[in-house]
Structure 1
C-alpha cells in the first residue's frame, strides 16, 4: 500500500515537472490556451492590418499573444520589440491552435541575450517582424544611421491587402526624449515611403501626433483615424497605458474603413488595427 502510494506521488511530481518544463507556451497544451471571445473573428480578415508593440522584456506567454492576434485575425501584422524565438512561437500557435497560417519576415536590429535569451555565442535577434497571410516579396531591412540609445530600423515588404499588392512598412523609432534622432529616422523612412503610391506604414513612433519629428510622415500619408491630425484640433485615441498615442497605421493611397484601439493586459501598448479599402 505504501509502495503504491509512493508511485502515485512520484507520478504526480513528474507531471508537475513536465508541465513546468513545457511551459504555458506549448502549442498542444490546451490547458494553457486562453479561449477567444465569442465575437472573435473566425478567419483572416483580408483587408485588415494591425500594429502592436508586444513589450520586451515582459513576462508574457506567447500563447496569450497569439490569442490576442487571433481575436482580430488581421491579414498583416507588424510587431515591434519582437524576438525571433517569440515570433516563431506566436506563428506556430496561430496555426496549431486557431488555424491561422502566416508567413513571416524579420527586421532584427540587435542580437541581444538580455532581451531575447539564447547563449552568449548565439543571442536572440531583437527588432521588428511582419506576419502576413499572403506571401511577401521584395523584403528590405534598413537600420537607421543613428538609432539613438538603442539600434532601430524599418522593415518593408510587398504583400496583398484586400487582394491588392501594397508596400507595407514596419518601424520602431528612437525612445522618448530623443526628438532630434527621431526626426532623422522619420526622414529616412519617409523618403522610402514616398517612392510608393500605395503603402501602409505600421509602427511605434514614440511620438505624439503633433510632434515636429513626425512632419515628414504627415506630409505623405494620413493616420487611419480620420479624426487624428497633427494639430490641436485633432482628436487622437491613446494607444499606450500612459495615455499617449505613439502607435500608428499611416495609409498612403488607401482609404480607411474602420479602426479599433484595443487595450491588452499583455503589453503596455494597445493593439491598433484597421480595415482598409485597397481600391
Structure 2
C-alpha cells in the first residue's frame, strides 16, 4: 500500500467515524425528546361513551433505542472516498538528473558524491558497468542505489562473460516495474538499449526512460531514435526521457523525440554544453503535461560528460487509484 493510499484510507476512516458519531448523537437526541408514554386523558377530556364497554387502554410506545456496540453501523454517504481522494491529490515537484558516468573510471565514490550534490529524486545514468573486471567487478547501479538510499533498475545492453554494460535508473520513489528494450543495431555498431521504469508520482504512474544512442554511425543513431519514439508514442502515462543522444537538438536524431516531448532546456540557464566537445548532446525531455521549471549543467571532475539536471512539476492525478500500485521511497518534495 502506498503512502498516499494510506493517507486516503486514514482520511476516509476519520470521515466515516465522524458521520457515525453524528448519526448516533442525532438518534439519541430524538430519543430524549420522545415521551415515554401517552398521558391518560382526564375525565373532562374523555370522549362520550357509545357503549358500556370500558375504554381501551392507551398504547404505550416502545422506549427510544440508543446505539450500542454491535448495532448496525450507518452506511456512509456515497462518493465519500472519491471526495477524500480528490482533496489529497496534489502536484509534485521532482528533480531529475542525467549523467553519463564514463564508467566511473575516475572513482565510483566520487561519482556517487557528484550525484548526491545535485540532490535528485530520479537519476538516469549511462555507461554503467556490472561485474566488469576493468571496473573492479562492481555492480555499479546497486552501489549507487545503496550509497544514495534509492531504488534502482539496470538495463544490460552488452554482455561479455559475467560482465554487463548498459544504463541505469535510480529513484527515491519505489520502482514499480522495469523493462529494457534493445534498439536496432548493425555491422560495426555497439548494441544500445532503452530502459523504461514506472514510478508513482502524485498519485499516478510516470514512465521514466533512459537511453544511450550510437555515437559514430549517424544513420544507425537516427534509426535508434525513431525506434525509441515509436515505443514512447504508445505510452498512455506521462513520460520523462533522458539520455546521451550523441546528437544536438537541431538534427534528424532528435526530431522524432522532440515532436513528442518538450526539451527541459527550454528553461535552461548558464552554459549548455554537456559532451566531450562542448556540445549539448545529453537531454532531458518530458510530456507536455510535465512542466520544466529550471535546468542547469554542472561540470564533472570524473566524467567526460557534464551532469544535466532539471526540476519538473508533475501535475496532480486526474483520477483516484482503484488498487495498490506499489510503495514509494523517501519522497522529499
TM score, norm. by length of structure 1:
0.71
Q: Secondary structure at the match of 2:195?
A: strand
Q: For residue 87 of structure 1, report the CA deviation from its aligned partner.
A: 2.0
Q: For residue 145 of structure 1, report the CA deviation from its aligned partner.
A: 2.4
Q: Is 1:53 the equivalent of 2:89?
A: no
Q: Is 1:110 the equivalent of 2:158?
A: yes
CA contact (8 A) 2:150 2:172 kept: yes
Tell me how far apart the structure 2 counterparts of residues 66 and 236 of structure 1 sit (CA, whole Å).
Answer: 23
Alignment gaps of 5+ in structure 2: 1-91, 131-138, 316-333
Q: For residue 149 of structure 1, report the CA deviation from its aligned partner.
A: 1.9
Alignment gaps of 5+ in structure 1: 1-44, 95-100, 113-120, 229-234
Q: Is 1:93 the equivalent of 2:147?
A: yes
* Alignment of structure 1 residues 1-279 onto 2, 5 Å: 47-56=94-103, 59-84=105-130, 85-94=139-148, 101-112=149-160, 121-122=161-162, 124-146=163-185, 149-161=189-201, 164-176=204-216, 178-196=217-235, 197-226=237-266, 237-252=272-287, 253-279=289-315
Q: For residue 91 of structure 1, report the CA deviation from its aligned partner.
A: 2.3
Q: How many residues align?
A: 212
Q: Over the residues paired in the alignment, what is the CA RMSD in angstroms?
A: 2.1
Tell me how far apart the structure 1 counterparts of residues 271 and 183 of structure 2 sit (CA, whole Å).
Answer: 27
Partner of 2:29: none
Tell me how far apart the structure 2 counterparts of residues 259 and 242 of structure 1 sit (CA, whole Å).
Answer: 20
Q: For residue 272 of structure 1, report the CA deviation from its aligned partner.
A: 0.6
**Distance change >3 Å, CA 164–CA 274, structure 1 → 2:** farther
Tell me how far apart the structure 1 counterparts of residues 234 and 211 of structure 2 sit (CA, whole Å).
Answer: 17
TM score, norm. by length of structure 2:
0.60
**Distance change >3 Å, CA 246–CA 161, structure 1 → 2:** farther
CA deviation vs aligned residue, 1:117-145 (integer Å, no higher than 9, x gap): xxxx42x2110110111111231211112
Q: For residue 222 of structure 1, report the CA deviation from its aligned partner.
A: 1.3
CA contact (8 A) 1:158 1:168 kept: yes
- Report which of the two structures shows the higher radius of gyration computed on alpha carbons: 2
**Distance change >3 Å, CA 223–CA 236, structure 1 → 2:** farther
Q: Secondary structure at the match of 1:90?
A: helix
CA contact (8 A) 1:107 1:127 kept: yes
Tell me how far apart the structure 1 counterparts of residues 213 and 260 of structure 2 sit (CA, whole Å).
Answer: 17
Tell me how far apart the structure 1 counterparts of residues 201 and 277 of structure 2 sit (CA, whole Å).
Answer: 31
Q: Secondary structure at the match of 1:266?
A: coil
Tell me how far apart the structure 2 counterparts of residues 160 and 105 of structure 1 sit (CA, whole Å).
Answer: 15
Tell me how far apart the structure 1 counterparts of residues 98 and 301 of structure 2 sit (CA, whole Å).
Answer: 16
Q: For residue 193 of structure 1, report the CA deviation from its aligned partner.
A: 1.2
Tell me how far apart the structure 1 counterparts of residues 293 and 93 of structure 2 sit (CA, whole Å).
Answer: 13
